[in-house]
Amino acid sequence: MLSFHLGWAIKAHVTRVDTHVYWTADRLLRWDDLAPGPLKKQKQTLPFFKHDYSCDVLTFNELRRELVLEVSTTDPEDLVYLNEYQEKHADSPKSIDPYVYVHKVENNEVKFDVNFWGYKYELKDLTLTNEEFQLFTKRLNPSVVLAEYWDSLGPLFEKFHIALKNVNMSASLKTRLEKELTSVRMTSNYESACRSFSALLETYIRELKSTNNWKGSDGDLGSLIGVLKANGNPPQSLMSLLQIVGKPTRDHFNHGNTLPDEAAKVVAMSCLSIFLMMFETYG
């Protein structure tokens, strides 16, 4: 069946509210049937995730604003609280930084995970049709990474190794990057690699700041990303990757926390891609 003007949203079932919201969700679909004959509108409700997912109220409210059409609660007072919170924060800017990792696309279905706040809140093993996934990402506007890209690391490592020889940076930084590249290829320890690459990225931006006399704070990675954005006219694709790296660095590494292996791999490889894009942009 072809579909046209597909309507897609979430129905949230809230089981408990304390400092966090605990909830499950269904998908609400409406579409127009383009089969021969009179135009027919059809509706369907399907599971989205059935395990109790928890996130803070701010995250739930932003998801409600972008994706959730209906909310039901076990305790009526919880619905009153959530509605009051929604009304009070109706004009708050978006801040949850969604990130989607696509595992597989086959048989008109997309299997993926979605994370918010630099992997602080994670929803795993979700499945949507291709059409639903397009609407989901259009509304949520996340950074999206395909597993097939990250699983093909050999060419990325080789491209980075070649580019590093010709880039204009200090010899000591080149040596440290080469050493870390060799380490991650031999050990696949992405947790260690993403910490090291994040620190080396800070060093590289500081070198660019000094060389080009850029104005701005010479602080942590977040501050330096701001300096790059204000002075270096970076492409949007580069800024999107920097957001993937900046959040975990601020929310996890700087507080002595760790990332799941899969997330650490994405951050480490994002760092390599950032370096490559910066090599091409700034020489």
168-208 pLDDT, tens digit each: 899 999 989 988 887 777 677 788 888 888 889 999 999 99
Model pLDDT, residue 60: 93
- Cβ-Cβ contacts under 8 Å for 37 (sequence gap 6 or more): none
Instruction: Compute the distance between CA of residue 46 and CA of residue 56 in angstroms, rounded to an integer.
Output: 25
Please, where are the H alpha helices in 115-220?
A: 130-140, 147-150, 153-166, 171-187, 190-212
Which of 20-24, 37-41, 89-93, 108-112 has maximum average pLDDT?
Answer: 20-24
Q: Is the pLDDT of residue 73 over 90?
A: yes
Instruction: Compute the distance between CA of residue 254 and CA of residue 104 in angstroms, rounded to an integer.
Output: 32
Instruction: Compute the distance between CA of residue 204 and CA of residue 198 in angstroms, rounded to an integer.
Output: 10
Task: Give the three-state DSSP class for 170.
Answer: coil
Confidence of residue 131 (pLDDT cuts 50, 70, 90): confident
Q: Is the pLDDT of residue 100 over 80?
A: yes
Tokens of 279: 């090599």
Confidence of residue 15 (pLDDT cuts 50, 70, 90): very high
**pLDDT tens digits for 253-271?**
656 667 777 777 777 888 8
Instruction: Compute the distance between CA of residue 238 and CA of residue 265 in angstroms, rounded to an integer.
Output: 18
Model pLDDT, residue 58: 92
Burial (CB count <10 Å: 0-12, 13-18, 19+), residue 101: buried
Confidence of residue 251 (pLDDT cuts 50, 70, 90): low
* Model confidence, pTM: 0.52
Q: Is the pLDDT of residue 37 over 60?
A: no
Model pLDDT, residue 103: 81
Q: What does DSSP say about strands 20-33 and 3-17: parallel, antiparallel, or unpaired?
A: antiparallel
Instruction: Compute the distance between CA of residue 101 and CA of residue 104 in angstroms, rounded to an integer.
Output: 9
- Going 87 to 91 to 93 to 98, the CA torsion angle's sign is positive
Stretch 62-89: mean pLDDT: 92
Q: Is the pLDDT of residue 39 over 60?
A: no
110: which strand partners?
105, 128
Arithmetic mean of pLDDT over the chain: 81
Model pLDDT, residue 119: 64
Stretch 148-157: mean pLDDT: 62
Buried b (16+ CB within 10 A) or exposed e, 224-255: bbebbeeebebeeebeebbebbbbbbebbbee
Cα–Cα–Cα angle for 201, 161, 205, rounded to 5 degrees: 20
Q: Which residue has the higher pLDDT, 234 or 104?
A: 234
Model pLDDT, residue 54: 92
Q: What does DSSP say about strands 68-73 and 40-56: parallel, antiparallel, or unpaired?
A: unpaired
Model pLDDT, residue 135: 82
**pLDDT tens digits for 215-242?**
988 888 888 989 999 999 998 888 888 8
Q: Is the pLDDT of residue 151 over 70?
A: no
Stretch 62-69: mean pLDDT: 89
Q: Domain spans of the chain?
A: 3-149, 152-282
